[in-house]
Chain A
């Protein structure tokens, strides 16, 4: 038994002995190395490690959770947590935790990532490649992540996993207002494409040179995976049953209904090799591939045990962190690795068969007027390329997509064969594997 698993088991024993009816202990040891660079040079090299235990306890339906960072006193703090839970108000919506003993599909850890001592080489490779493709200013980040996790639960699950990944983000400028952005994210060091990523960012920046103010009106949009990752961020949140319950989802009351065009099949697949692969959810249920939208029809929300009980269904093994995280609520079920299934188009064909459109590299600041209706806008950034009669005719700037997200999903009419894993900042997050898509007739607006 690993030391982490042993710690989880001991803390679970403390919780049980202290009177918890249900308890989950998740012990994590995560290390991150990061290089931040801009203007072609390294700005800062950062490293941090956190060893901590997230403990959830329930006494009847009185629930309480804690992120215990002081591991020297984790046993005492776990005991205190149960005492506090006994005195806590009831959580009437609590529906229990995952029960059973499960087998898990562990990931294949790439030890070369864990052993990486100087991650600056791919950074310099990316910078050089971007510059050789026309960039005059290059910036971004390289992350090297390594996490060990062990989980023990009174429901039966006992699990451990270890993952490592690298992700590189490159933004290149060829002029003050001409930029391109590309990323490479992978759990295999050998698959990190530093040069290609830098080259792609530089190439896009070069194509974006001398942009003119974009026009308002209806356009067909060809969206790169990075752009789509920004939209997927909000879609993933809205697929959470908890978000549905509190009015923060456009998918409420739409199970079995057409929410996207037939071209769109949206799954959560934490099983595939990716930077967000995980063997079990935060209740210890083995993760699985869940089809959320099939041929445009909404099949399910993502659930943990409690939301599943409230929705009279079964958990989809998407239990989220048991304590709140930045921008996510405690116990919010979440997709771990969204995937839009590939279609049968070549990316080039999508552009060639677009009459009046825009090819969009990236976006940010996706904001909703009302999550229940899906009215939103998002601001394309980096290369915005105008398409006329199947050809890219030049770059544009200063535009905004102002439309409705259900309309966007229902207007997808082409999906590429090729997909790419994208993960960038808090915009294209969680990590997702996405194709290039075309969306017909979206509204473009701009400042006046």
Chain B
């Protein structure tokens, strides 16, 4: 149950006490269940409920945010007092402003065909036990098997001083699997995540008994038959998983407005992108990357952001051109723009900041066989394991988890631990073909301080990169 009346009274108090640039109140409640299974046995089981509220007050002198895990008018009054004091303490000489956005009165929810709350612990355990049993029957020696299944529903009521009133209900389910395969005295590891917004039907769609059994068989194949690559220049075909991580790391992150303006400089870092670089070329005409919170059923789904701005697709790179940054109301205002609905918060005790949602490379018009067809000597990097990127988002590394040599347009056996270490324009500039079908993966994106995990999709079609150095 959400106390809308409390939110209204508390917002009234905030507006009484000052003439803020903006005042916001969020009341939130959630239920969460987590089951961990280790080597076929229950490892831990938790069931928690949370409820609380926050008040954010923006004054010309600063931004103040106060939150507590209690919902009452007296608690709210205390939060107003604190947020106001904090906003004053900023003592900013440059006036803090927020972009002008329309007031919205609405409610939105993600519907569940099979409500998560109706699922029993036995159902959850059977789900994981069946996956584990299938993995065990794969004929592959899997030394480490650990699965965590979490599902939660978050109900929220948002009110601001400009008249926005938004009620929302968002259920999510996520599974993490850690699998260590051994063969011939060697090991390979896979850490997989599957997430969605919606009900239990989403988890059933993942078909994990097959997916994770295929995964361990693949890892064994890489150990038993994978050959090392001779370092050199190759054509590289990236599978959707690799396209997705590149879209997230070397497009989504460097296009975050707060990073570009320096607000994350001490933690997640800055960006090689400067405010005046919109319109500049970063990649080939095939490099179109979209961040879209409205992808139905996606793990990063939302209809309105944490500041009450309607979500919409953002074309970050468009045909190789730096096209649009991700903005909240604060960063948009600093660049004289409107927010594009990119403000998110992990939960009510964390300040809202600029985040991605579902970031993916746009599809093209190539069939998959056409992508391989013209590759004389190359590599298909289907998925990745180790990856990282520097804090200006310019130098990235992806090491293959599953890869194959390509000879004369045909797959020619497994390649093991291929390494792509490349600059951002080097990656996006080398693409000369994208396939028709986009596939998504789930992830938790970390940003903010304290770090906030944001559920996201990453994705894309197959990409073909010409003449890149592989190790």
Residues on A lying within 8 angstroms of B by beta carbon are 34, 36, 38-39, 41-52, 63-71, 77, 81, 84, 87-93, 118, 120, 137, 139-141, 169-171, 173, 177, 181, 242, 245-248, 323-324, 326-327, 329-331, 364-373, 375-379, 381, 398, 400, 402, 425-426, 445-448
Residue of B nearest to A137 (CB): B262
Would you call B422 and A448 a contact (CB within 8 A)? yes
Q: Which stretch of B8-16, B58-66, B291-299 is in the interface? A: B58-66
Would you call B449 and A36 a contact (CB within 8 A)? yes
Is B70 among interface residues, defined by CB-CB distance under 8 A? yes
List 9 A-B pairs, minimum CB-CB distance, nearest first.
A247-B144, A247-B180, A365-B388, A45-B86, A330-B44, A139-B265, A246-B146, A140-B266, A171-B266
Q: List chain B residues, Cβ under 8 A from A445.
A: 397, 421, 471
Residues on B lying within 8 angstroms of A by beta carbon are 34, 36, 38-39, 41-52, 54, 62-70, 82-83, 86-87, 89-94, 121-122, 125, 143-146, 148, 150, 178-180, 187-189, 261-267, 269, 349-351, 385-392, 394-397, 399, 417, 421-423, 426, 446, 449-451, 453, 469, 471
Residue of B nearest to A246 (CB): B146
Main secondary structure of the interface of A (DSSP, over half): strand
Question: What CA separation (Å) do A52 and B52 show in the bound complex?
Answer: 11
Would you call B263 and A63 a contact (CB within 8 A)? no
Question: What CA separation (Å) do A322 and B380 show in the bound complex?
Answer: 43
Q: List chain B residues, Cβ under 8 A from A45.
A: 62-65, 86-87, 89-90
Question: What CA separation (Å) do A140 and B265 show in the bound complex?
Answer: 7
Residue of A nearest to B32 (CB): A67
Would you call B451 and A425 a contact (CB within 8 A)? yes
Whether A369 contacts B36 in the complex (CB less than 8 A), given A246-B144, A247-B143, comes out as no
Would you call B41 and A377 a contact (CB within 8 A)? no
Whether A48 contacts B66 in the complex (CB less than 8 A), given A171-B265, A246-B178, A330-B36, comes out as yes
Would you call A248 and B144 a contact (CB within 8 A)? yes
Would you call A70 and B395 a contact (CB within 8 A)? no
Question: What CA separation (Å) do A372 and B179 show in the bound complex?
Answer: 11
Q: List chain B residues, Cβ under 8 A from A34.
A: 449
Question: What CA separation (Å) do A64 and B125 show in the bound complex?
Answer: 14
Whether A326 contacts B421 in the complex (CB less than 8 A), given A140-B266, A247-B144, A381-B269, comes out as no
Can you pick out 11 interface pairs between chain A and chain B where the beta carbons lie within 8 Å of each other? A44-B90, A46-B66, A47-B82, A120-B89, A171-B266, A246-B38, A246-B146, A247-B143, A247-B189, A379-B395, A400-B388
Would you call A247 and B392 a contact (CB within 8 A)? no
Q: List chain A residues, Cβ under 8 A from B422.
A: 447-448
Would you call B262 and A69 a contact (CB within 8 A)? no
Would you call B187 and A372 a contact (CB within 8 A)? yes
Whether A447 contacts B351 in the complex (CB less than 8 A), given A368-B386, A400-B388, comes out as no
Determine which of A64, A381, A402 lies in contact with B45 in the assembled complex, contact meaning CB atoms within 8 Å. A64
Q: List chain A residues, Cβ under 8 A from B90.
A: 41-45
Would you call A41 and B94 a contact (CB within 8 A)? yes
Would you call B189 and A372 a contact (CB within 8 A)? yes
Would you call A44 and B63 a contact (CB within 8 A)? yes
Would you call B42 and A91 a contact (CB within 8 A)? yes
Question: What CA separation (Å) do A42 and B46 show in the bound complex?
Answer: 39
Question: What CA separation (Å) do A327 and B193 show in the bound complex?
Answer: 13
Question: What CA separation (Å) do A364 and B393 show in the bound complex?
Answer: 12
Question: What CA separation (Å) do A50 and B71 show in the bound complex?
Answer: 12
Would you call B385 and A369 a contact (CB within 8 A)? yes
Question: What CA separation (Å) do A173 and B148 show in the bound complex?
Answer: 41
Would you call B178 and A370 a contact (CB within 8 A)? no
Q: List chain A residues, Cβ under 8 A from B386.
A: 367-369, 375-377
Whether A89 contacts B125 in the complex (CB less than 8 A), given A65-B44, A67-B48, A398-B394, comes out as yes
Whether A63 contacts B265 in the complex (CB less than 8 A), given A42-B90, A246-B146, A379-B395, comes out as no
Question: What CA separation (Å) do A448 and B125 show in the bound complex?
Answer: 47
Q: List chain B residues, Cβ under 8 A from A44.
A: 62-65, 90, 351
